[in-house]
Structure 1
Amino acid sequence: MNVLHEVNHVVCVTGTPPLLSGRMSLVNLLYNVYNRYDAFGQHIRLWESGQVQSKSFHVDLLFLFREGVVYIIDHRNRTCQKNPLHPLHIPHNASLQSQVVLGGSSAPGEGLLVNTWTGDVPETGGECKYLATVTEFGCVPVSMLYYSARTDWIVTTYFNAVKGIEDLEQLIPPPFCADAETEDEKLDFFSAFF
């Protein structure tokens, strides 16, 4: 399958600095996506467009973790699908896998101290598993491995993080989403994306 992607991504994981933007790579068996993310108030905005087997597609997803909903936005038809949303964070029942220095530790500035957490996603009854690495200081996301039967293994790597967000308006649903009814199926970031 040949998949071309152009993606912008807005993300905040609980505990990260309130204003953070950067780049991320998301890879599984079907996708290899490089995109940009911004973090603010536990919101994620994902825009994706591309071509699969000569057919164009466009996806616009707005994740509102504090409100517990995700909007799947169709600008062409000016419609929204609204689904309940599982949280995106390192759960309280996570197990500390390890604390290591990425890079070197022989001299100051050679490495980065990180914590790796592992466990099952509680809201899925243990069906989904994760391995998340964040910096010891600032809780900035470094990488995440995620598994579910629906998505298979997904590897997400975060890099080039800086403080600041260009357009906070991107984190508000468009006016035509105001009357969207909430669907029954509860999604998480990865199941909504795939």
Structure 2
Amino acid sequence: MRALVLLVCLSVGCLAQKPQPCSSPALMSGSLSVSAQNDRLALAKYTYDEVGQRISLRELGTFGNKTFFHLDILLLYQEGIMYRINRKAGTCVQKHLSEGFHPLAVPKDATLVGQYVLGSSSVPGEGVLVNTWAGKLQMRKGTAEYMTTVTEFGCLPVSTMFCKNNERWVVVSFFDNVAGMADPQDFIPPPFCNDDRLEEEEEENLTAFISLF
């Protein structure tokens, strides 16, 4: 009888340790890179606010044909508006957002691919325990397949791969993540944006990967 109770307790303990879908911190900042098949590499600093449904991409730079440019992108999902800001030129373009806000989280119906250690597990402090998940998301226009990796402790994003409507795969990698209070100033458009009219054309390409988080 004692052996049976011990076996049940061990089984429950094992089940409790199985990775579960999780949500990233509601307020976070850091840097990210975006790359696609046979395409340019983009780098940016980001600020994320789940409560206000806002994302700021600053100093967005794209490498391609030996060129590099800076751009700020402000995504305000509650207002349904995206700002494309060029501070150097003093220009601002406003467009409708085509996708709704999705929080940085592993969907509840995601399938666990595996649990791994980034770096080394031989010495404490040399590795980070992460979980990789995969699944599909129904979006406003079509279906997207994804594979996302987050840290076991804190659910901080590491990388996300996604493919929308069987098109090319896009990879988003996160680094220098800091959980906590986001800077409210990152979500305020510059004064020269006030005079620009909202374009009727919806923005899809830029926000496609954001909508998967």
TM-score (norm 1): 0.68
Q: How far off its partner does 1:50 sit?
A: 6.3
Per the alignment, residue 17 of structure 1 pairs with 25
Are the structure 2 counterparts of residues 81 and 189 from structure 1 closer, same or farther at C-alpha, using a change threshold of 3 Å?
Answer: closer
Task: Compare 116-125 and 27-36 and name the one that shifted more.
Answer: 116-125
Per the alignment, residue 54 of structure 2 pairs with 43
Render the CA deviation track for 1:30-65: whole Å, top value 9, x for unaligned.
Answer: 111222222233421224466977999775432234
Per the alignment, residue 147 of structure 2 pairs with 131
Per the alignment, residue 27 of structure 1 pairs with 35
Contact kept? 1:151, 1:190, Cα under 8 Å: no
- 3-state secondary structure, aligned to 1:23: strand
Task: Compare 55-64 and 107-116 and name the one that shifted more.
Answer: 55-64
User: Which of 143, 150, 157 is equivalent to 2:173?
Assistant: 157
User: Which of 88, 96, 105 is equivalent to 1:82?
Assistant: 96
- 3-state secondary structure, aligned to 2:208: helix
Contact kept? 1:59, 1:72, Cα under 8 Å: no
Q: Which residue type is aligned with residue 109 of structure 2?
A: N
Q: How far off its partner does 1:97 sit?
A: 1.5
Contact kept? 1:83, 1:184, Cα under 8 Å: no
Per the alignment, residue 113 of structure 1 pairs with 129
1:148 and 1:35 map into 2 onto residues whose CA distance is 22
- 3-state secondary structure, aligned to 2:154: coil
Q: How far off its partner does 1:171 sit?
A: 1.3
Q: How far off its partner does 1:71 sit?
A: 1.2
Contact kept? 1:118, 1:130, Cα under 8 Å: yes
Q: How far off its partner does 1:192 sit?
A: 8.2
Say how many residue pairs are matched.
179
Are the structure 2 counterparts of residues 57 and 150 from structure 1 closer, same or farther at C-alpha, using a change threshold of 3 Å?
Answer: farther
Render the CA deviation track for 1:51-88: whole Å, top value 9, x for unaligned.
Answer: 977999775432234x2734144675655222242333
Q: How far off its partner does 1:144 sit?
A: 0.7
Q: Which residue type is aligned with residue 86 of structure 1?
A: G
Question: Gapped runs of 5+ residues in structure 2?
Answer: 1-21
Q: Which has the larger radius of gyration?
A: 2
- What is the RMSD computed on CA atoms of the aligned residues? 3.8
1:125 and 1:79 map into 2 onto residues whose CA distance is 23
Contact kept? 2:118, 2:127, Cα under 8 Å: yes
Are the structure 2 counterparts of residues 133 and 92 from structure 1 closer, same or farther at C-alpha, using a change threshold of 3 Å?
Answer: same
Render the CA deviation track for 1:100-124: whole Å, top value 9, x for unaligned.
Answer: 2222223322321111111112225
Question: Gapped runs of 5+ residues in structure 1?
Answer: 1-13
Q: Which residue type is aligned with residue 85 of structure 1?
A: E
- 3-state secondary structure, aligned to 1:128: strand
1:182 and 1:61 map into 2 onto residues whose CA distance is 15
2:69 and 2:35 map into 1 onto residues whose CA distance is 19
2:70 and 2:197 map into 1 onto residues whose CA distance is 19
Per the alignment, residue 189 of structure 1 pairs with 207
Identical amino acids, percent of aligned pairs: 32
Q: Which residue type is aligned with residue 97 of structure 2?
A: N
